[in-house]
Amino acid sequence: MELYFFIKGIVLGFSIAAPVGPIGVLCIRRTLSNGMLSGFLSGLGTATADALYGCIAAFGLTVISTFLVDNQSYFRLIGGLFLLYLGYTTFRSNPPELAAADGSGKGFLGDYVSALFLTLTNPMTIISFAAIFAGLGVGQTAGNYMLAGLLVFGVFVGSMLWWLILSRMVIVLRSRFDQKRLKWVNQFSGIIIAAFGIMSLIMV
């Protein structure tokens, strides 16, 4: 039973993380520009937020989930504005030299925190988790905190696994990108990220 819940959590975490959104675009761009660790830490920030929202859904913390849903317009506003800022800075940024991109740890904490913040300011994530958990019959774990904990840990592992695979795939293809193409990636990524920000603000 314990292994069943853990595996189900991995599948859920992987499935929720896989669709390409603003974090996916950001992860790809950071991996190309700054190396695999930068992209993976961006994904790790999202996996952490997924696990936190998974906790709320799995443990039935209705007070927190109600607060998030009732104030989702404010969260969308904050997240949308941050995405616009991130899109602008990404569009304007110059890619570092490829040879030196993997050697510096500068900004790695920022990669993690910014992705964590972006995911936490999207309260629809908690709604998605609650709906999926309920649909699969795991929204309530009959007061068994061990099963709920294994489920949430599985969500974290599954989400983290996706970001590891994605960042590794990008690294494999990275040798095909010179400085000019990396600049195009930054500009294209900036436009896409800003577009997600505009969509978030429209939905406020």
If you average pLDDT over residues 84-98, what whole number do you get? 76
Counted residue by residue, the chain has a size of 204
- Tens of pLDDT, residue by residue over 34-48, are 888 999 999 999 999
92-139 pLDDT, tens per residue? 877 655 444 444 445 788 899 999 998 888 766 767 766 666 665 555
Residue 184 near residue 17 (C-beta atoms within 8 A): no
% of the chain at pLDDT higher than 90: 10
Rounded to 5°, the CA angle 5-7-9 comes to 70
Range 89-128 burial, b when 16+ CB lie within 10 A, else e = ebbebebbebeebeeeeeebeebbebbbebbbbbbebbbb
- Higher pLDDT residue, 19 or 137? 19
Quote the tokens at residue 124. Answer: 């629809």
Q: Is the pLDDT of residue 6 over 60?
A: yes
Q: Which residues contact 5 (CB under 8 A, 6 or more apart)?
A: 138, 141, 147, 150, 151, 154
Q: Which residues contact 201 (CB under 8 A, 6 or more apart)?
A: 76, 77, 80, 81, 84
CB 48 within 8 A of CB 194: no
- Residues 38-80 have pLDDT tens digits of 999 999 999 998 888 888 877 776 677 677 767 778 878 888 8
| pLDDT surpasses 80 at 168 | yes
| Whole-number average pLDDT of the chain | 79
- In terms of average pLDDT, the best of 9-13, 65-69, 113-117, 191-195 is 113-117
Q: Could you give the angle at which helices 108-120 and 36-58 cross, rounded to 10 degrees?
A: 30
Q: What is the pLDDT of residue 82?
A: 84
